[in-house]
Amino acid sequence: MCGIVGYVGKNHGVDTILEALSRLEYRGYDSAGVAVLHDGQIQVRKKAGKLQGLVDHVHKHPLIGTIGIGHTRWATHGLPNETNAHPHSDSTGKLTIVHNGIIENYAELKEKLISKGHEFKSQTDTEVIVHLIEEHAKRMPLEQAFRLTLKEIRGSYAVCLLSADEPDRIFGARNGSPLIVGIGKGESFFASDVPAVLGRTRRVWYLNDGEVVELRASGPKITTLDGKLLKRQPTTIKWDLTAARKEGYAHFMLKEIHEQPTAIEQTLFNRLKPETGQITFNRSTRAFLDALKPQEKIIIIACGTAYHAGLVGEYMLEEFANIPVDVDLASEFRYRGAMLDKNTTVIAITQSGETADTLAGIRLAKKQGAKIFSICNVMGSSIARESDAVLYTHAGPEIAVASTKAYTSQVTALTLLTLYLAKKRKRFAPARWKQLVRDFAALPNVIKKALEKAPDVKSVAAKYAGCRNFYYLGRRYNFPSALEGALKLKEICPLIHAEGYAAGEMKHGPISLIRMGWPVVFIATKSPVYEKVISNIEEVRARRGDCIVIASEGDSHIKRYADSLITVPETEEIFSPIVSAIPLQLFAYYVAVANKCDVDQPPNLAKSVTVE
């Protein structure tokens, strides 16, 4: 959600910035812009729509300069048009900024600035920041004016400031929205995320809220909002850009679906040890989990797909580890006045580690004395840093907006956690434990087999690609799978409405819509509720709905109930949400491709939702 880039160096600034912005496209955006300083003048180019539009515009109207800022905007205040696109400039055109986040008190600040004669061009909250800096800079040096402005604005921001009078430096700061600094050889960068700078450097600083950076080609300087100098060692990024490229797949989503065996292997690596029958974690995670008391209560908070992973976690933690679990949407948890204390552990699940609601949720929980454990994919992200312990999923960069491998690796991490806690609580007979560990270790191979069925899923998807409404139904561990399957379809196929329900809920309302040909996807793999799901399939068939059934391989009984059948290898129920995710993801993918949808960057969606 919004991508920010800043560059100071010796190279062609605009090309560098545009290339870095292209690596942030996955975050979702609706317009883009760039500003470059040359010979004491800032020149700005902006375009609504895809980044390629801006690239073409810059080719026609070239820019030169070795210092500049760039932005991909995801509209919050004002339409996604060229005027509202960033960068935004002050009244003189000498100051220019890019911003990610929301300024909550922008309306009152704008009013005051208008009364002082400032004229605003856009409908954005962002423009207020640059006018406020301009106003303060009439009476003090620019750096001081920048800091004072940051103290006066309320809300979330990652912001970069370029001044026509400062040809050697850019200022940047963050509060609640991600910003990193890339430290190269004779060049430095600001960016919203690491892939933007990876082609040029692996050395980065992750900024914390309330930090201000002065970026020069010779290197960055980091300070507090009050100007106190801070020391920070750079983090060296281990993964590289090839991990963030399509590698022959038509879309990132398809690539990431196929990466799941590896992603799960990486989540399990060094943690699940089938040879000794053990699950282990690093020292700090172990210490955290070993300190959990028997009376501990767990609240899982997350958004979207990560929330669905949390729902799976609830089933498994309660059934296997015997721990009471609540799962909350982070956006609701923040405002529901949950009762927390030192015997509460809040587990935040997040791919990006930057989701605004999840971040606010853990901060609130911390204040009330709860302990924070996070399951996170992005190392060094805000949520990871603010947690007492982190279990990284190590799924690798996820570029497609629709989450696939992050989801299955989150469920894998929750399974590791569950089995570890359950074993500590002596919940298994040795033979049962051995069998679970063996099946868990085999999961990457099981996923590979499920992926081999992609051609079958593709032909089923072709049959239903013209439908515009779908239900997804499942029970127990596969109730969250139904929610997740429906979410995948509706997020990447904006033409389609899809709804997931607990199959038992059908009779309480949704069934009223079922009529001839209405497609209903059932997750009916072998489990203790298999017969119940069959009864629900019967109910849909009785109303002449069209049943697309995901069933366990070798289940010959189910054929008679399915209008279309997709099979997956049979597994223990606890692992089944991971396995059934594969055909659900593939089905959404192939329906979207058949409908010529923008699979990797669906409209209105952003990869990392850094505003409330």
Please say which residue, 403 or 580, places its beta carbon nearer to ligand F6R. Answer: 403
Among 188, 350, 382, 601, binds ligand F6R (CB under 6 A): 350
Query: Would the CA dihedral through 125, 129, 130, 135 be positive or negative?
Result: positive
CB 36 within 8 A of CB 14: yes
Please say which residue, 68 or 485, places its beta carbon nearer to ligand F6R. Answer: 485
Task: Sketch the per residue contact string, 387 through 416, with ligand F6R: x for CB under 6 A, - otherwise.
Answer: ---------------xx-------------
Element (H, E) at 161: strand 157-163
Among 31, 149, 156, 355, binds ligand F6R (CB under 6 A): 355
The reply to whether 305 sits near ligand F6R by the rule CB under 6 A is yes
Interface segment toward ligand F6R; rule CB under 6 A; list 72-80, 226-234, 303-311, 458-466: 303-311
- Of 462, 415, 414, give the one whose Cα is nearest residue 436: 415
Give the other-Cβ count within 10 Å of 442's Cβ: 14
Among 609, 610, 611, 612, binds ligand F6R (CB under 6 A): 609
Burial tier of 160 (Cβ tally within 10 Å: 0-12, 13-18, 19+)? buried
Rounded Cα gap, residues 74 and 100, in angstroms = 9
Please say which residue, 407 or 561, places its beta carbon nearer to ligand F6R. Answer: 407
Per-position DSSP letters for 64-105, written without gaps between them:
--SEEEEEEE--SSS-SSTTTSSPEE-SSSSEEEEEES-BTT
Residue 304: partners with Cβ closer than 8 Å, 6 or more residues away: 403, 487, 609
Task: Sketch the per residue contact string, 48 through 87, with ligand F6R: x for CB under 6 A, - otherwise.
Answer: ----------------------------------------
CB 609 within 8 A of CB 510: no
Q: How far is the CB of 350 from ligand F6R (least distance, A)?
A: 3
The pairing of strands 170-175 and 157-163 is antiparallel
Token pair of 470 as six digits: 């779908």
Residue with tokens 């300070």: 223
Among 264, 306, 461, 586, binds ligand F6R (CB under 6 A): 306
Please say which residue, 457 or 605, places its beta carbon nearer to ligand F6R. Answer: 605
Question: How far, CA to CA in Å, does 250 sit from each of 52, 598, 601?
Answer: 18, 11, 13
The reply to whether 177 sits near ligand F6R by the rule CB under 6 A is no
Count of residues touching ligand F6R (by CB under 6 A): 15
Interface segment toward ligand F6R; rule CB under 6 A; list 166-174, 277-285, 352-360, 472-480: 352-360
According to DSSP, the residues that pair with 86 across neighbouring strands are none
Q: Which residue in the list 94, 371, 405, 607 is annotated as catalytic?
A: 607
Query: Cα 167–170–172 angle (5° rounding)?
Result: 170
Catalytic site includes residue 597: no
Q: How far is the CB of 484 from ligand F6R (least distance, A)?
A: 8
Among 201, 285, 351, 571, binds ligand F6R (CB under 6 A): 351
- Of 464, 525, 469, 462, give the one whose Cα is nearest residue 499: 469
Helix, strand, or coil (residue 406) = helix
Please say which residue, 349 or 437, places its beta carbon nearer to ligand F6R. Answer: 349
Among 84, 149, 201, 358, binds ligand F6R (CB under 6 A): 358
CA 595 and chain centroid, separation: 25
Please say which residue, 84 or 355, places its beta carbon nearer to ligand F6R. Answer: 355
According to DSSP, the residues that pair with 512 across neighbouring strands are none
Please say which residue, 3 or 304, places its beta carbon nearer to ligand F6R. Answer: 304
Q: How far is the CB of 57 from ligand F6R (least distance, A)?
A: 30
Token pair of 32 as six digits: 């883009």
Please say which residue, 44 or 599, places its beta carbon nearer to ligand F6R. Answer: 599
Written as one letter, the residue type at 381 is S
Written as one letter, the residue type at 467 is C
Token pair of 441 as six digits: 């270790």
Q: How far is the CB of 228 from ligand F6R (least distance, A)?
A: 32
Q: How far is the CB of 305 from ligand F6R (least distance, A)?
A: 3
The reply to whether 303 sits near ligand F6R by the rule CB under 6 A is yes
Footprint of ligand F6R on 454-493 (CB under 6 A) = 487, 491
Interface segment toward ligand F6R; rule CB under 6 A; list 194-202, 210-218, 301-309, 538-546: 301-309
Task: Sketch the per residue contact string, 491 through 510, with ligand F6R: x for CB under 6 A, - otherwise.
Answer: x-------------------
Q: How far is the CB of 580 from ligand F6R (least distance, A)?
A: 16
Interface segment toward ligand F6R; rule CB under 6 A; list 121-129, 153-161, 240-248, 348-356: 348-356
Per-position DSSP letters for 174-215, written without gaps between them:
EEBS--EEEE-SS-EEEESSGGGTTTT-SEEEEPPTTEEEEE
Beta-sheet strands, E only, within 19-81: 31-38, 41-48, 67-73
Question: How far, CA to CA in Å, does 491 sit from each of 351, 354, 498?
Answer: 17, 20, 9
Interface segment toward ligand F6R; rule CB under 6 A; list 166-174, 177-185, 304-312, 462-470: 304-312
Q: How far is the CB of 440 from ligand F6R (least distance, A)?
A: 23
Element (H, E) at 471: strand 469-474
Packing angle between helix 405-424 and helix 304-321, nearest 10 degrees?
Answer: 20
Interface segment toward ligand F6R; rule CB under 6 A; list 85-93, 298-306, 418-426, 446-454: 298-306
Please say which residue, 393 or 536, places its beta carbon nearer to ligand F6R. Answer: 393
Please say which residue, 137 or 306, places its beta carbon nearer to ligand F6R. Answer: 306
- Of 405, 450, 395, 470, give the one whose Cα is nearest residue 583: 450
Residue 581: partners with Cβ closer than 8 Å, 6 or more residues away: 404, 407, 408, 411, 481, 484, 485
Please say which residue, 88 or 174, places its beta carbon nearer to ligand F6R. Answer: 174
Interface segment toward ligand F6R; rule CB under 6 A; list 215-223, 335-343, 347-355, 513-521: 347-355
Helix, strand, or coil (residue 308) = helix
The reply to whether 352 sits near ligand F6R by the rule CB under 6 A is yes
Element (H, E) at 422: helix 405-424
Catalytic site includes residue 607: yes
Rounded Cα gap, residues 87 and 97, in angstroms = 5
The reply to whether 126 sits near ligand F6R by the rule CB under 6 A is no
Nearest residue to ligand F6R by CB is 304
Q: Which residue in the list 2, 160, 376, 597 is annotated as catalytic?
A: 2
The reply to whether 192 sits near ligand F6R by the rule CB under 6 A is no
CB 31 within 8 A of CB 122: no
Please say which residue, 87 or 353, places its beta carbon nearer to ligand F6R. Answer: 353
By the criterion CB under 6 A, which residues form the site for ligand F6R?
303-306, 350-352, 355, 358, 402-403, 487, 491, 608-609
Give the active site residues: 2, 607
